Amino acid sequence: MARRKNHQKFTSSRRPGGARRFFALTLVLGIMGLLGLRAFQLQVADHNFLQGQADARSLRTITVQPMRGMITDRNGRPLAVSAPVDSVAADPVKLAASPTRFRELEKALGMGRGEIQKKLKRYKGKRFMWLKRQLVPEQAEKVDALNIAGVWLKRDFKRYYPFSYMASHVVGFTGTDNVGLEGLERAYDEALRGVPGKQRVLKDMTGRIIERVENLQSGVPGENVVSSIDSRLQYIASRELYTAVKKHKARGGSVVVLDVNTGEILAMANEPGYNPNNRKGVSARAFQNRAVNYTYEPGSTMKTFTILSALSDNLVNAESRIDTSPGYLQIGRFTVHDHTNMGMLTVSLVLKKSSNVGAAKIADRLSNERMWKTLDLAGFGHAPGSGLPGESKGRLPNYSGWKRSEKITMAYGYHIAVTPLQLARAYGVIARGGRQFPVTILKHEEPVDGEQVFDPKKVAQLTRMLEGVVEKGGTAPLAAVDHYQVAGKTGTAHKIKHGAYSKKDYVGSFAGFAPSSHPRLVVAVMIDEPSNGKHFGGDVAGPVFRNVMAESLRLLNVEPEIGPDSPSIRRADVRSGGVQHAG
């Protein structure tokens, strides 16, 4: 009985253990079967679905910026070009996960400690930010070598200006996003930009592009803009203006050179200037294109148009006599002064010697409407329409509100405001025999007709008078050009400071054309606030005109019209003196 009981005990104790092992084995085999089935499903049945999900996480559609068009001078010399560079971008979410890498990234980019953390705060929740634009190659190599997740290099373009300081106000510049901000870059931004393209790309986990999968939309490169500027003349104008402003310790100045036949702006220089390749620390004043938006009272350069008005109405001719004694003229409580008593003058001498009293007496014979119409037809009070941004139309009040004193002062260049470009265009109308013409900053080689607004015979008389200004005894012998006859006029005007005309702040100017018998170029020069002793237009602006005109005519192969033995004005006459200091 004992053995039976033991056997029963033994038998009963083994049965439960076997059941457990069988159950465990069955469970394991079941789980393995399910895993195998799932693996088969993942590898075979759901392969396409999962592959699509993986691709969706790494496939991106990106915008591809096109190459910005060039800006060139009229002869194809580049004034603005784009060069490919690298910029560094980041995914703020991914980059934030690598705080231990911030400092080495900051060092590679030349950033201060903590700058990346500040950027991440600003872009919290975003998936894109620029860390630094337009890297130098060494920086790009360092960033690439760091291999930080969420940081990648992105192809970009940097604008470069080969002529630097020289043509900065005409060409302008772009921002870091290659959007034009000033000058031609701004005026023709849409054409220069082109049309962006789109691509589908495959990126790795760090954000780098590892494959360009598909071109969704082809980009269109920006158009080139061919300016009217002749870089040779631009260099001359910039050099001469810079020299004059420095010599006379002036606040600034402008030079404009126009082609009389086509209306093209061949040169436009301004001081102060700036280097568009490095604008750091440049004052806002330096960005101003004074030639198109700096308005000033032009002084005696307006006497030309006062006399043209009187000639047009047959009120005077070149030999009409004007009594300027005793050197001043009382208009109510207002007094017009000459610097000296010039006595009896012909109209021609009124212009040559720049008599304020003479101009005032001529203007007194004119109706308000007649005088206003002459100025209006010459282009004053209208934006020139050159194609450059920021053009000012100046100030030409309507004649209906003029007082007698206002008309009188306008006769010699006060109570009216002009820009250097307006002044150049107005003298261009004289150079063209009284025919208006459009001005342009784009190349346009074909001659333009324009409307005939003044009698050619009257304009011819006026031109002969203007020739006398640069002769001995005139106000601008320093503007005379060897072997070419110049016709032009000086201007000297007091500036308004603190609500009153200053006794020490002036604008000196000269505008004229040459050769006067068959004009090719108009040059207008303005020197703002010369402070080194001389301030008359003939002294500060005349020499700039002479040098710019002389070299420009030579470069353009304009045939001389005066031989070396001509009795007309020669440099020897200039050295001998005879400068009449007025207007």
For the annotated catalytic residues, the residue numbers are 300
Contacts of 60 by beta carbon, 8 Å cutoff, 6+ apart: 200, 201, 202, 203
Q: With 0-12 CB in 10 A as exposed, 13-18 as middle and 19+ as buried, what is 208?
A: middle
Name residue 214's beta-bridge partners.
Answer: 200
Backbone dihedral angles phi then psi of residue 446, each to the nearest 5 degrees: -75, 135
- At 118, list the tokens: 């500040």
- At 360, list the tokens: 């005032």
C-alpha 155/C-alpha 58 separation (Å) is 19
Q: Is residue 64 within 8 Å of residue 84, measured between CB atoms? A: no
C-alpha 501/C-alpha 429 separation (Å) is 31
Give the CA distances from residue 305 to residues 167, 424, 477, 510, 550, in Å, rounded to whole numbers and listed in that order.
Answer: 31, 13, 21, 14, 26
Q: Is residue 474 within 8 Å of residue 466, measured between CB atoms? A: no
C-alpha 526/C-alpha 253 separation (Å) is 5
Q: Is the peptide bond before 456 cis (omega within 30 degrees of 0)?
A: no
> How many CB atoms sit inside 10 A of residue 537's CB?
36
Backbone dihedral angles phi then psi of residue 530, each to the nearest 5 degrees: -65, 140
Give the CA distances from residue 61 to residues 90, 199, 205, 218, in Å, rounded to whole numbers and listed in that order.
Answer: 16, 6, 16, 13
* Closest among 256, 269, 227, 230 to 442, alpha carbons compared: 227
Q: Is the peptide bond before 515 cis (omega within 30 degrees of 0)?
A: yes
Tell me the pairing of strands 265-271 and 252-259.
antiparallel
C-alpha 129/C-alpha 445 separation (Å) is 47
C-alpha 580/C-alpha 342 separation (Å) is 11
